[in-house]
Chain A
Amino acid sequence: MVGLLTQLPLIAQAGDFVRPPGEGPTSCVGENNTVCIGWALDNIDRWVTPTLEHLLLVSASVAAGFAIAFGLALLSHGRRWLEPTFIGATGVIYTIPSIALFLILLPITGRGTVTAVIALTLYNLQIIYRNIVTGLGNVPEASRDAGRGMGMTEQQLLWRVELPLAVPEIIAGLRIATVSTVAIATLAIFAGAGGLGDVIYTQGLQNDVFKTAIVVGSLIAIAMAVCFDALYVAGQRVISPWRKVRAI
């Protein structure tokens, strides 16, 4: 536990991060009264690593969240009494503000990417689990009966009829989870896991409220969310072309 705090980038300290005095089109950095597009483009490598870290946080936690939620859904399938338990448990975690969850995990799992991914995964569970269960619940009884009539076992029914028909809802859940995670992962900086929070918070707010960094970090985060969203819409069209993509 010793030294945990000293590693935390918590307090705004002028001079933590030196802004090189720009010249010509980049001189606006020194004044810091506007967004300095020239400087942002000249210093593109400042944004690349945090963006990649952010992508890693989001992909890892959505993948892990999906794996666990899928396991839970299989467990509770056919055991209806488990559903409220799982929804309640994942709901309680979902209620805890992300910044608090990151910090509560720190003494247990230490600073860094692992802690951030654990917290973000816990967040995803609720959304993804709910959608898988809804998807399975919405399968028409007639489809199940048809499967049974063809002599399918319960297992075959699940994998060949129910899950394929639930794909649109499952993808909708992944879509919401991914877009929210992109936003929440900006707070992973408080778990010492970098990401775009590094640009917005460490390079921006803590750095004498450096406007260019704040705007660049925010724009990359929003652009990332929009791109993921578009990917899911495209993916859904490919996987289940017979279904209209649900907007929510």
Chain B
Amino acid sequence: MSLPPADVFDSFSGAIDFIFEPRDAIGVGGQVGGLEQVWDLMWTQIWISALALAVAVAIALPIGLYFGHRGSGELVAVAVGNAGRAIPELALIALMVAFIGVGVLNVTIALMILGIPPILTNTFVGVRQVDRDAVEAARGMGMTELGVIRRVELPLAVPTIMSGVRTGAINIVATATIASIAGVSTLGDFIINNANYGEDGLLAGAILVALLALAVELVLAGVQRLLTPRGLALEREAAGATA
């Protein structure tokens, strides 16, 4: 609005140049930008996010399955989900920097905390939504309680659980950007520690973070397809076709 279109185009083409071609840093010497540095920072963001997500799933999934199977603890599961939404990511990282400290371990824990609520809540809700008749039928076939969870409730809850995992993953990847405040150099470096990168670096960082998040979403959507039991997928397709 305040800037004419030609300038907008210049900004974006400058940002794209920054991604592909290294250039002299502003202020101090040395080169910044270019694919090598971009990949370096992006790789950090990917592995720290993947690690945090894996730990979050390892913690939230069993708890959600257990309480969902027993049908108790609904208030807690829902409250955790709501609280997770209300905590500002910036506040979480800032409080961590102020009172716990910076570094890879602390950042991973903070990211994990952000991932847990949606996974826990969705696992709980997903298991609760499984048709009770299916569970009774499984028991009638002589399945143990663990068998019921593993072979009936978990597979049937996959779509709901995966939607929680996707939300958690997006939260984590987004917040890993601000982890640059806490001494872990991710793509957020282009944004937060921007002095040497200039405006092009700033916009390049934003574009790369957006693309990374979309890629994560695509990958997890693929994982969801693979994990969804074929019968359930067919059923949904049929429901979608008639709706």
Contacts and interface: CB of A to CB of B under 8 A. Distances in A.
Given A104-B206, A248-B81, A183 B2 contact: no
Q: Identify the interface centre among B86, B170, B174, B195: most chain A CB within 10 Å of its CB.
A: B86
Contacts of B195: 10-11
Q: Identify the interface centre among A97, A205, A217, A248: most chain B CB within 10 Å of its CB.
A: A97
Given A107-B8, A205-B94, A100 B206 contact: yes
Interface stretch (B33-41, B147-155, B209-217, B229-237): B209-217
B214 A96 contact: yes
Contacts, number: 155
B202 A103 contact: yes
B61 to A, nearest CB: 19
Interface in B18-37: none
B205 A186 contact: no
Contacts of B188: 99
B193 A11 contact: yes
B10 interface: yes
A222 interface: yes
Contacts of B74: 247
Main secondary structure of the interface of B (DSSP, over half): helix
A205 to B, nearest CB: 5
B86 A182 contact: yes
Interface stretch (A59-67, A139-147, A196-204): A196-204
Given A109-B1, A205-B181, A218 B95 contact: yes
Contacts of B210: 96-97, 100-101, 104
A10 B205 CA distance: 14
Contacts of B2: 109-110
A158 interface: no
A235 B164 CA distance: 28
Contacts of A150: none
A95 to B, nearest CB: 5
A248 to B, nearest CB: 6
A180 B81 CA distance: 11
A221 interface: yes
Main secondary structure of the interface of A (DSSP, over half): helix
Contacts of B48: none
B202 A99 contact: no
Contact of A100 (B3, B8, B81, B209): B209
A1 B3 contact: yes
B60 interface: no
A109 B170 CA distance: 25
Given A201-B94, A214-B94, A225-B86, 10 more contacts: A4-B199, A5-B199, A8-B202, A95-B170, A103-B203, A182-B86, A183-B88, A186-B91, A205-B181, A247-B74
14 contacts: A5-B194, A10-B192, A10-B195, A95-B217, A96-B214, A99-B188, A100-B174, A103-B206, A183-B87, A183-B89, A186-B89, A187-B88, A209-B97, A222-B86
Closest 7 CB pairs of A and B: A97-B174, A103-B206, A218-B91, A110-B2, A107-B11, A225-B86, A183-B88
